[in-house]
Structures are given as C-alpha cells and as structure tokens.
C-alpha cells in the first residue's frame, strides 16, 4: 500500500490537467496536418496521435479517480466518543486508529447505529466507539490520517481542523460540516 502526501496528490492533479491540454492540442494538430502531410510525416503524426490519445485517456482516468477529501466527525458523548467518517473505502485509516487505541475501541451497538443513522443522509458513517477517550489524543491521531476533522462536544461547540496542507493546523475554526440532518447533542446523551 502506498500513501501519497497531500501535496503530491495536488501535483498529480495539476499534471493531469496539463496532460489533458497538451494531448488535446496534439490530437487537434494531428487531425489538421494529416491530410496535407507526406507519407513519412503521416507515420509520425499517426504515432503522435496514438500517444496523445493514450495520454488523454490516462490523464482523464487520473482526474476521475483522484481521491476526495476525507472527513472525520468526532462526537463526544459522555464517557465515549463516536468517530464517523465519509471515507468507508479507506478502511486502513480506521484499522490504524483501532490498532493504536486497542482496548478503548468498542463496536457500535445496534442502538448506537440507530441513534446515529441520520448522519448517513449526509454521507457520514459511524465507524468506531472509543471508551474513555483523551480528546487531544484522538484528535491528533485523526489529523494524521484525515484531511478534515470536525469535533463536537456535549454543549454543541464545533471545532474544524483542516490538515490538508499541514498535519499540525495552528488553530481550530468554530465551524461545522454541511449536515442537513444534524440534531444538537442533548446534554451528552446523543442526538435528540
């Protein structure tokens, strides 16, 4: 498994867009010049057209499969913290958290899943329950593997940590993610 740094992913996306522009220009040039070229130049233009077409397909594929920003929601609820994420396909991140937190991680019960089911309409899925969490430890671990980490406590105070450019954001912004179905926490007992 290869995990690329976030800055490297940005460079790959930029190079993909530049490749699309260059390949499109090359294909247009080949089409325009092919009819009036000699036999040897036609062979070169055909090879250039094939290479440009392959480059265009690969660049479009790279842009299409470029990973989305991964988010984590940390919801403090009494003596436990629920971790929800929008990146279910990145199970290695959740395994990383589970392996480090070992004994404190519990499986979500059916009642917990039903209680947090409303998050699924916004694309977040409850994944882990951490018993007796140290908020700063959980927050730092999540900042290592997720692009955006949103934390909310029992008094409905939100913190947004953006670690897309650096793993150590200097400060937290008091904003919540765009959640259509969010219900405020009811004195630490979960959504009402």
The predicted-structure confidence for 110-158, as pLDDT tens digits, reads as follows: 888 888 888 888 888 888 888 888 878 888 888 777 878 888 877 778 8
Query: Domain containing 124: what range?
Result: 71-162
Q: Give the residue-averaged pLDDT of 72-97.
A: 81
Instruction: Report the 10 Å Cβ neighbour count for 50.
Output: 11
Rounded to two decimals, what is the model's pTM?
Answer: 0.63
99 and 56 belong to one structural domain: no
Residues 90 and 121 in one domain: yes
Q: Do residue 77 and residue 99 come from a single domain? A: yes
Contacts of 80 (CB under 8 A, 6+ apart): 106, 129, 130, 131, 132, 133
Q: Is residue 180 part of a domain?
A: no
């Amino acid at each position: 498994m290869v995990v690329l740094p976030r800055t490297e992913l940005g460079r790959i996306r930029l190079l993909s867009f530049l490749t699309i522009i260059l390949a499109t220009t090359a294909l247009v040039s080949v089409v325009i010049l092919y009819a009036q070229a000699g036999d040897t130049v036609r062979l070169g233009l055909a090879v250039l057209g094939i290479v440009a077409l392959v480059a265009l397909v690969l660049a479009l594929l790279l842009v299409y499969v470029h990973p989305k920003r991964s988010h984590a929601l940390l919801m403090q609820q009494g003596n436990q913290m629920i971790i929800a994420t929008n990146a279910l396909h990145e199970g290695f991140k959740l395994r990383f958290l589970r392996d480090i937190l070992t004994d404190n991680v519990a499986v979500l019960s059916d009642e917990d899943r039903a209680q947090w089911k409303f998050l699924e309409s916004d694309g977040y899925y409850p994944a882990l329950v951490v018993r007796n969490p140290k908020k700063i430890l959980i927050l730092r671990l999540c900042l290592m593997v997720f692009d955006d980490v949103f934390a909310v406590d029992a008094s409905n105070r939100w913190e947004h940590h953006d670690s897309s450019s650096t793993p150590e954001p200097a400060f937290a912004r008091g904003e919540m993610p765009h959640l259509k179905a969010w219900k405020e926490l009811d004195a630490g007992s979960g959504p009402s």
